[in-house]
Amino acid sequence: MTETVPSTRRHRDDTRSLRKALPDACQVLCFSATYTDEVVKDIETSVFKRHPSSKVLIAATDEDRSALMVHEIAHVWCDAKEHPSGKIGIVEDIYDLLSAQQSIIFVNTRKDVSSITQVLKAKNFSVEDLTGGRGSTGMDANERDRVMGAFRDGKVKVLITTNVIARGIDVPGVNIVINYDLPVVIDYSVPRGASSKPPEPDSDTYIHRVGRTGRAGARGVAINLVDQQGSNGQDLAVLAALETKCFGPQKAPWTMIQKVPDASDVEAIKDMVRKKMASSSSSDK
């Protein structure tokens, strides 16, 4: 099954329900890096207008988001076809870089989180997985809390997960985020793989995913894995659209999300990532 963050409608309904449960005199603070104009308007009318108490509404502008994405986080992408073992081979090659501090690998489905974790553990890589959901297909809440606690404490270095922790999780030690799967909008009404429509890039989720690094003035790197064959030729178009949506139109492609010259050259990847982190950390000096 697939996991994404709550929809705008669910967000609106939850916000209204929470506000109704609170006394009128309660101060309300609403903040997000990706509030849309529609959400801001709805908050103003359904929450603040009906409850004229002291309010704080913080909605980042496009300029705010772009500045954060550029100054705190470096963005690169690897072409999986250049590596003989594809995306999983790239992760294996740079594992020592990922585990030097802490890293998060984002995957679009729980099923793929499980399979990737099994492959890496079978090769003696120390990783943990974390997913949401309930029932037989989901992770037990106690196990989820255990893994998240170990990750916060630094006992887990590399975490493989879905969008369940793409928002609202602050772990200062995370310095690398990998988009193993590029974030796209999921249509739950269509069986997986059955849609004939091209995937819609999910720029909000991209911003939140990569925002797990570069926290509180620290520097980070976002590594995007592109698999044209595995995505039916869609990944490059998705990544190009994400670059435009997140950073604005560029004079040339891959200006803000730069390509690793050769994904089969592990030292080249590591060197580029280290240089990106060093250049990011020195850019404010």
- The values of phi and psi at residue 224, to 5°, are -105, 130
Same domain for 41 and 69: no
User: Is residue 100, in this structure, part of any structural domain at all?
Assistant: yes
Nearest to 154 by CA among 173, 175, 126: 173
Per-residue pLDDT at 50 = 62
Greatest CA separation for the chain: 62
Neighbouring residues of 81: CB distance < 8 A, sequence distance ≥ 6: 227, 228, 229
Same domain for 136 and 30: no
pLDDT band, residue 1 (cuts 50/70/90) = very low
User: Is residue 1, in this structure, part of any structural domain at all?
Assistant: no
Same domain for 153 and 48: no
265 alpha carbon, distance to own chain's centre = 25
Q: What does the alpha-carbon distance between residue 63 and residue 246 come to, in Å, rounded to a whole number?
A: 10
Three-state SS annotation for 59-108: ECCHHHHHHHHHHCEEEEEEEHHHCCCHHHHHHHHCHHHHCCCEEEEECC
Does the pLDDT at position 5 exceed 50?
no
User: Is residue 3, in this structure, part of any structural domain at all?
Assistant: no
Same domain for 182 and 111: yes
Spatial contact of 175 and 101, defined as CB atoms under 8 Å apart: yes
Tokens encoding 257: 């999300």
**Residue whose entry in the numeric block shows the structure tokens 């996991």:** 3
Neighbouring residues of 46: CB distance < 8 A, sequence distance ≥ 6: 12, 15, 16, 19
User: Is residue 41, in this structure, part of any structural domain at all?
Assistant: yes
What digits encode the pLDDT tens for the residues 151-203? 999 999 999 999 999 887 889 889 999 999 999 988 767 776 667 788 899 99
User: Is residue 36, in this structure, part of any structural domain at all?
Assistant: yes
Number of domains in the chain: 2
Same domain for 120 and 24: no
Same domain for 72 and 55: no
Residue 147: domain span:
65-282
Same domain for 96 and 55: no
Same domain for 164 and 84: yes
What digits encode the pLDDT tens for the residues 15-29? 777 777 877 777 777
Q: What does the alpha-carbon distance between residue 184 and residue 188 come to, in Å, rounded to a whole number?
A: 12
Same domain for 172 and 69: yes
User: Is residue 147, in this structure, part of any structural domain at all?
Assistant: yes
pLDDT band, residue 149 (cuts 50/70/90) = very high
Does the pLDDT at position 54 exceed 70?
no
Same domain for 76 and 140: yes
Q: What is the DSSP letter of 250?
A: -
HSE-up (13 A, CA, CB side) for residue 125: 25
**Residue whose entry in the numeric block shows the structure tokens 């999780």:** 169
User: Is residue 180, in this structure, part of any structural domain at all?
Assistant: yes
Same domain for 151 and 22: no
User: Is residue 146, in this structure, part of any structural domain at all?
Assistant: yes
Does the pLDDT at position 3 exceed 50?
no
What digits encode the pLDDT tens for the residues 218-241? 789 999 999 999 999 999 999 999
With both helix axes pointing from N to C terminus, report the angle between 86-93 and 110-122 in degrees, rounded to the nearest 10: 50
Mean of the per-residue pLDDT values of the chain:
82
pLDDT band, residue 258 (cuts 50/70/90) = very high
Q: How many residues does the chain have?
A: 285
Same domain for 230 and 250: yes
CATH of the domain at 226: 3.40.50.300
| Mean pLDDT along residues 249-255 | 91
Q: What does the alpha-carbon distance between residue 139 and residue 122 come to, in Å, rounded to a whole number?
A: 20
One-letter identity of residue 200 = E
Tokens encoding 2: 């697939």
Per-residue pLDDT at 155 = 95
